[in-house]
Amino acid sequence: MRIKFPLMAIGLEVAMIVLYGLFVEYETDQSIQQFNISKQVHMEKFLDLYPLFQDVHVMIFVGFGFLMTFLKKYGFSSVGINLLIAALGLQWGTIAQGILHSHGQKVHIGIKNMINADFSTATVLISFGAVLGKISPIQMLIMTIIEIAVFAGNEYLVGEIFKASDIGASMTIHAFGAYFGLTVARILYRPGLRGGHDNEESVYHSDLFAMIGTLFLWIFWPSFNSAIAEAGDKQYLAIVNTYLSLAACVLTSYAFSSLVEHGGKLDMVHIQNATLAGGVAVGTCADMAIKPYGSMIIGSIAGIVSVIGFKFLTPLVATKLRIQDTCGVHNLHGLPGVIGGLASIVAIAMGASSTSTMVNQAFALGASIGTAIVGGLITGVILLLPLWEQPSDWDCYNDSVYWEFPRLRDHDNRFHEYHNHLEHEI
Amino acid sequence: MRIKFPLMAIGLEVAMIVLYGLFVEYETDQSIQQFNISKQVHMEKFLDLYPLFQDVHVMIFVGFGFLMTFLKKYGFSSVGINLLIAALGLQWGTIAQGILHSHGQKVHIGIKNMINADFSTATVLISFGAVLGKISPIQMLIMTIIEIAVFAGNEYLVGEIFKASDIGASMTIHAFGAYFGLTVARILYRPGLRGGHDNEESVYHSDLFAMIGTLFLWIFWPSFNSAIAEAGDKQYLAIVNTYLSLAACVLTSYAFSSLVEHGGKLDMVHIQNATLAGGVAVGTCADMAIKPYGSMIIGSIAGIVSVIGFKFLTPLVATKLRIQDTCGVHNLHGLPGVIGGLASIVAIAMGASSTSTMVNQAFALGASIGTAIVGGLITGVILLLPLWEQPSDWDCYNDSVYWEFPRLRDHDNRFHEYHNHLEHEI
Amino acid sequence: MRIKFPLMAIGLEVAMIVLYGLFVEYETDQSIQQFNISKQVHMEKFLDLYPLFQDVHVMIFVGFGFLMTFLKKYGFSSVGINLLIAALGLQWGTIAQGILHSHGQKVHIGIKNMINADFSTATVLISFGAVLGKISPIQMLIMTIIEIAVFAGNEYLVGEIFKASDIGASMTIHAFGAYFGLTVARILYRPGLRGGHDNEESVYHSDLFAMIGTLFLWIFWPSFNSAIAEAGDKQYLAIVNTYLSLAACVLTSYAFSSLVEHGGKLDMVHIQNATLAGGVAVGTCADMAIKPYGSMIIGSIAGIVSVIGFKFLTPLVATKLRIQDTCGVHNLHGLPGVIGGLASIVAIAMGASSTSTMVNQAFALGASIGTAIVGGLITGVILLLPLWEQPSDWDCYNDSVYWEFPRLRDHDNRFHEYHNHLEHEI
């Protein structure tokens, strides 16, 4: 960390300032004309959507940030690196998406760019979950820049070329983010951690901190899926469908967690994650008329698949495919994202929407996964370069590698003592 | 938990999906006609109220969930079972309230149904506080189904038959939820816990987690009391009155906590709970023109009554009435709810509102408490059946009865050690 | 605490109720006429701004409250006294600001008063950070009353006499609150704490609790800076500029934290605080057309200055100026507030705004700092009176001085044990 990390962070911020100086402007009377509404109405719409933007903002910074604090000694890094890469990601996402959609013209910042910038950031945070504890802050900065560029490209492909429908971004954010992160984790496979790591576990309070993340994600997910939906009917549908899917998902997550665990007990990993799978899986068809009970069926299935994934698939993926998925993003974002894409094909087949076709949806799903894997491969190889201060196996999942603990003294501090103890053992 | 819990959870979700398939629809052009406004205006109103709905949603899931994490070893269950029963409750509440109000016709989901569904859920969560730590998840599922049905019946009686005014639901939610829960706690009285239980206490960090709940409840209470108020003047009044009542309540809670405690110290139990009593007590007359200082008087009284209740009444209720009220819901919801009903009678007598009469308000208060006690009796008796895996006295207030701790190892884990230690002692 | 604290709290609440009875009214048809809009439009505007008010409300109670929980044994007091003085402050702020602005007429409560009341409260909470752990709850009540009166006077001077522009209140809230608090800390200087105090440090979980505060402050800061901005263009600018300044500030804070710390590590103190400096520094010119990259430059500089302040200035200020600044408010609010004032002068010089002049901005900055120092001096001297139960050096930063721990028993409770241990040592 000595000098590379600060230099890269400063360099990236300087680059952002230059890019914003060149390409980004406030909304102007001209830029508003494209919406065919008066400036006053446009500004009112800004304020109408602002609460939904803030809901999404809470999801990105508090939701994702605290969801990942479940590790007993990696809370600072989880919530801290989350903040760092989200702050970078939203600046870069505005540029990357804006340039593509404005065809090289100036980008005019409005509420939709701000929401979309948060979305591009979400993609990176999902991938972060797959490699959590195993890569350095510098590596995360590099991954943020590459992944958002690839994400913006795939999103353009899906939305503008295939004209596919993906309002809650099950495919373009969740499946994409998961498979991108899993591919990077595959490239960075650590044989030394096959048997697990002492620090890769939670303690009582770290699991409670993680529930802060879970709950804010759960509560605001209807805002995520509806924030950029067409005002009126479609936005209404996106809110109601997501709300119902999530509620149903909770019941099946709890049921299956109890079914698969020893003695019918519940597992915090499932409660923290699988309860959210309903929000992911209903994303693509959130603004379609899939009926209230349709949303609930999608949510129920997502909860079941997610719990089963955590219990049976994650260990297999780790041993057979050599992918160590720290947060289990495959079960929360990968599988439910694929379910979301498939659900949209079924929904269109049943006449719930005519904004896209079954074929286009299938292309969109395939493109999202394919681009993610290719992007993840390239990123993984770049991150392998012995330049980025990747932590040793021993230093994984350990805040003390990246964080000063100046205010900690010996008494009353088990964490510090334990760390010293480990260092003496070496 | 082995098999009954997952079967019941799955069965309930399947039942919900069937009920939604039969009875619940999106809003249609026809269903909107009843409001005498155009569809576009209706959809705009949806988005106008959506931030208030989200505030209430945060109160239900984060507010109630974390408020109950004060117990040192019951945080997983507090926040976890809260999520489970709230997710079930909002699905079932939509049906139970909707069928009654639509007189057996289809229920059309709009923002008001969603807010009302959260309200019905709040009622169960209040009762949950009275029995926290002493009943199993299966018992909570059963209680959720029965209580919401009774709640919807009482709410219909109060609002449609008595035409009483109860905008912030001091009577129909708070008093009802409290006396329902207390009656259940009475039926399930545990003589073995007369002397207290080692786990029925907080530790330093669990009290801080609980403050997350307190603060979000406190902040968003004006949204709770105003969410379904008539747009315009009444909604304005409900927000302002609740805001002022809560602020005043904080000052008297702190003052009386210090007055009644040894050496003038403050007690976290009072700060976590009594500071919220002002929101409860002002509920019924929140949308009446009770004057700003009137709200502050109501809030001040509520804070005082609540602290005194915690200090002197709760021990008496436990020993004399044999009601073990884990969270002290009688002091946060019961007494302040009754104050709310009485305050509305005074307010109407003083001409602050003409939407209801003093007699109708008195009927509403009596009906809410009466129905709650009858409903609680029936529920308590059902929960007594030796089918529902009620925990033994020993297992009360203990997460490890319901939760796997697979990620906990021996080192660095006092909780686990302590639990083992207890088990060896037996 | 025995009797003075409860008497003062009750006395203050009674005084508030009397003042509200005399001076505060609901909005009336007449009071709305001044806005030249119909009552219906006015009420719609209330609801439009309500989500921004709630964002600010979360910042005040959760943001400031949890930000200060970083101390290992002072979490109850941090979040608890924060709630107490904020609840008092918003009641008193409405009166103090209202009387001045209505020139002695009745104050009519609307959404802007409510937002402004939260702002006046924020000022006290900033000062609270400078003296955190070292003064008693009674002293904080006194400081709240005096500081808000002085704040309202200075705000009137800056806004109505100088007609200066300070939409996000970098000068009138942040610089004012910081220098007021620092002056009080100077007067209350404790030579006995020159060598530090065992309790003036964080532990692992207390730093995570503090991050809850940081993140909610960070997320909702655009609402803070835009809540009372002119609807339309200016509000849009205030949101976008603050959003970009904060994002840029994160990158430079991380970079400089790593640069100045041993071995390139990150310091939680910087991450919790310096990442917010961008919100402070962009405040004054938030609603000016300073260009997107202009905001990012302001944010970048604020992050750098704040980290450097924490690392090099705070120790100097403590030893040379004898100001013990517990939370480092000089680095989060003082210096960035001054940067905000200076930035507005540069912005006006560059033509980004014509609502104020460079000279008026300079006067505003000078007045804010000057009034703060004079107010702080007077307050400090009053707080020195041996009436207010100021804690001894030994009792600083220690919750057990003000809080009962009735639910804590011997086993499983290091905090209590440690405290007993200390008491035996005396």
CB B343, CB B174: distance < 8 Å: no
pLDDT given for residue C413 in this prediction? 41
Q: Say yes or no for a CB contact (<8 Å) between A65 and C296.
A: no
Q: How confident is the model at residue B420 (pLDDT cuts 50, 70, 90)?
A: very low
Q: B401 to chain A: nearest residue by CA?
A: A265
Q: What is the mean pLDDT of chain A?
A: 91
> What are the tens digits of pLDDT across the range B185-230?
999 999 999 888 988 889 999 999 999 999 999 999 999 999 999 9
Closest by CA position to C309, among listed C338, C342, C346: C338
Return d(Cα B84, Cα C31) in angstroms, integer.
47
CA–CA distance from A70 to each of A212, B76, B311, B408, C329 (Å)? 10, 13, 36, 12, 31
pLDDT per residue as tens digits for the range B343-373: 999 999 999 888 899 999 999 999 999 999 9
Which chain A residue's Cα is nearest to C248? A13
How does residue C409 score in pLDDT terms, banded at 50, 70 and 90? very low
pLDDT at A1 over 80: no
**Region A172-198 average pLDDT:** 94
Residue B425's pLDDT is what?
35
Touching subunits for chain C (3+ Cβ pairs under 8 A): A, B
pLDDT at residue B406, as a whole number: 55
- What percent of chain A stands above pLDDT 70? 95
Inform me whether the pLDDT recorded for A425 exceeds 70.
no
pLDDT at residue B409 tops 50: no
Please give the torsion angle defined by the CA atoms of residues A263, A67, C261 and C321, in that order, rounded to the nearest 10 degrees. -110
Say if residues B147 and B123 touch (Cβ distance below 8 Å): yes
Closest CA to C145 of C91, C222, C225: C91
Higher-confidence residue of A306 and C411: namely A306
Closest CB to A2: pick one of C212, C263, C291. C263
Token pair listed for A119: 């979305």
From C356's Cα to the closest Cα of chain B, the distance in A is 33
Across the interface, do A62 and C219 touch by the CB < 8 Å criterion? yes
Distance from the Cα of C214 to chain B's closest Cα (Å) equals 14
- Give the minimum alpha-carbon distance from B414 to chain C in angstroms, rounded to a whole number: 8
Confidence label for B263 from pLDDT (cuts 50, 70 and 90):
confident
Assess whether pLDDT exceeds 90 at residue A276.
Answer: yes
Q: Per-residue pLDDT tens for C243-264?
A: 999 999 999 999 999 999 888 9
Does B346 touch chain A if contact means CB atoms closer than 8 Å?
no
In this prediction, residue A409 carries a pLDDT of 39
Residue C202 has its nearest CB partner, among A43, A46, A407, at A407
* C417–B contact, CB cutoff 8 A: no
Reply yes or no on whether the pLDDT at C15 is more than 60. yes
Supply the pLDDT for residue C107. 92
CB of A308 within 8 Å of any CB in chain B?
no
Average confidence (pLDDT) over A208-218: 97
Contact A114 C240 (CB under 8 A): yes
Q: Do B261 and C21 touch (CB under 8 A)?
A: no
Among the partner-chain residues C90, C109, C415, the one whose CB lies closest to the CB of B240 is C109
Q: Give the whole-angstrom CA distance, residue C39 versus residue B93.
A: 35
Q: What is the DSSP string of A202-214?
A: --HHHHHHHHHHH
Measured CA to CA, the distance from residue A62 to residue A84 in angstroms comes to 13
Cross-chain residue pair C408–B198, CB shorter than 8 Å: no
Contact check, Cβ <8 Å, A6/C259: yes
Chain B residues within an 8 Å CB radius of C44 = 48
The predicted model gives B265-285 an average pLDDT of: 96
- The secondary structure element, H or E, covering residue C403 is strand C403-404
Instruction: Please check whether residue C304 is in contact with residue A10, taking contact to mean a CB–CB distance below 8 angstroms.
Output: no
How far apart are the CA of A293 and the nearest CA of chain B, in angstroms? 5
Please state the rounded mean pLDDT for residues A273-295: 97
- Nearest-CB residue to C87 (from B202, B247, B262): B247
CA distance B153 to chain A (A): 23
* DSSP string across B40-65: HHHHHHHHHHHHHHHHHHHIIIIIHH
pLDDT band at C1 (very low <50, low <70, confident <90, very high): low
- The DSSP code sequence of B19-30 is HHHHHEEE--HH
Interface test with A, best of B7, B12, B13 (most A CBs within 10 A): B13
- Residues constituting chain C: 426
Distance CA A170, CA C148 (A): 49
Is B244 in Cβ contact with C87 (below 8 Å)? no
CB contact B15 to A (< 8 Å): no
Interface probe with B: pick from C40, C47, C94, most Cβ of B within 10 Å: C47
Confidence grade of residue B292 (pLDDT, cut at 50, 70, 90): very high
Per residue in B237-246, pLDDT (tens digit) is 999 999 999 9
Residue range B158-181: average pLDDT?
96
Write out pLDDT tens, residues C362-404.
Answer: 999 999 999 999 999 999 999 999 888 899 999 999 999 999 8
For chain A, positions 200-259, list CB contacts with chain C under 8 A. Answer: 205, 209, 212
Query: How far away is chain B from the Cα of A233, in angstroms, using its nearest Cα?
Result: 7
The closest of C56, C57, C64 to C333, measured between CA atoms, is C64
The pLDDT of residue C62: 98
Cβ-contact C209, C66 below 8 angstroms: yes
- Please give the residue of chain C at the shortest CA–CA distance from B232: C43
The whole-number pLDDT of residue A355 equals: 87
Q: Which of C336, C110, C338 is nearest to C227 (CA)?
A: C110
**d(CA B19, nearest CA chain C) in Å:** 34
Chains with at least 3 CB pairs less than 8 angstroms from chain A: B, C
pLDDT value of position C228: 93
Residue C217 scores a pLDDT above 90? yes
Closest alpha carbon within chain B to C6: B255
Between C90 and A425, residue with greater pLDDT: C90
Q: Any chain A CB within 8 A of the CB of B403? A: yes
- The number of beta carbons lying within 10 Å of the beta carbon of residue B22 is 11
**Amino acid of residue A242:** T
- Whether the predicted pLDDT of B421 surpasses 50: no
d(CA C244, CA C296): 6
Beta bridge mates, B267: C404
Letter string b/e over residues C311-349, b meaning 16 or more CB atoms within 10 A of that residue's CB? bebbeebbeeeebbbbbbbbbbbbbbbbbbbbbbbebbe
Residue A105 is predicted with a pLDDT of 83
Best probe of the B interface among C40, C59, C84, C115, by most B CBs < 10 A, is C84
pLDDT in tens, B7-35: 999 999 999 999 999 999 998 877 777 77
pLDDT band at C82 (very low <50, low <70, confident <90, very high): very high
Residue C425's CB is within 10 A of a number of other CB atoms, namely 6
Judged by a CB distance cut-off of 8 A, whether residue C32 touches chain B is no
Distance from CA of B106 to the nearest CA of C (A): 31
| Residues in CB range of C392: below 8 A, 6 or more apart | none
Q: pLDDT confidence of C101, banded at 50, 70, 90? A: confident
**Residue B417 pLDDT > 70:** no
Closest Cα of chain B to A105: distance in Å?
32
User: Model confidence at A291, in pLDDT bands (50, 70, 90)?
Assistant: very high
Calpha distance A416→B55 (Å, rounded): 39
Chain B stretch 53-82, residues whose beta carbon is closer than 8 A to a beta carbon of chain A: 54, 57-58, 61-62, 65-66, 69, 75-76, 79-80
Which residue type does B101 have?
H
Task: Report, in this order, helix, strand and coil percent for chain A, each rounded to 5.
Answer: 75, 0, 25
Which pLDDT value is given to residue C410?
A: 38
Which of A194-208, C170-184, C334-348 is predicted least confidently? A194-208
pLDDT higher than 50, residue B408: no
Q: Tally Cβ neighbours within 10 Å of residue B263.
A: 10
- What are the pLDDT digits (tens) for B30-86? 777 777 788 888 888 888 999 999 999 999 999 999 999 999 999 999 999 999 999
Give residue C406's pLDDT. 55
Interface predicted TM-score (ipTM): 0.94
Interface test with C, best of A23, A26, A121, A211 (most C CBs within 10 A): A26
Checking DSSP bridges between strand C403-404 and strand B266-267, what pairing results, if any? Answer: parallel
Of residues C55 and A406, more confidently modeled:
C55
Q: Which pLDDT does position C408 carry in this prediction?
A: 46
User: Which three-class secondary structure state does DSSP give residue A169?
Assistant: coil
Q: What share of chain B is helix, strand, coil (3-state, %, to 5)?
A: 75, 5, 25
pLDDT digits (tens, 9 = 90+) for B111-127: 999 999 999 999 999 99
Q: Are C111 and C50 in contact (CB under 8 A)?
A: yes
Residue A107 forms beta bridges with which residues?
Answer: A24
Q: Which residues lie below 8 Å from residue C188, measured CB to CB, with a gap of 6+? A: C131, C134, C135, C380, C383, C384, C390
Strand partners of residue A26: A109
Q: Which residues does chain C have within 8 Å of residue A50's beta carbon, measured at their own beta carbons?
A: 51-52, 239
Cβ-defined contact of C204 to A65 (cutoff 8 Å): no
The answer to whether C257 and C306 have CB atoms below 8 angstroms apart is: no
Whether the predicted pLDDT of C79 surpasses 60:
yes
Backbone phi, psi, residue C38, to 5°: -70, 160
Quickly tell me which residue has 């339309």 as its tokens. C232
> Considering only alpha carbons, which residue of chain A is nearest residue B63?
A215
Angle in degrees, CA C119, C121, C127, rounded to 5? 110
Q: In the B/C pair of chains, how many CB contacts fall below 8 A?
A: 172
Nearest by Cα to A34 from A116, A105, A114, A118: A105
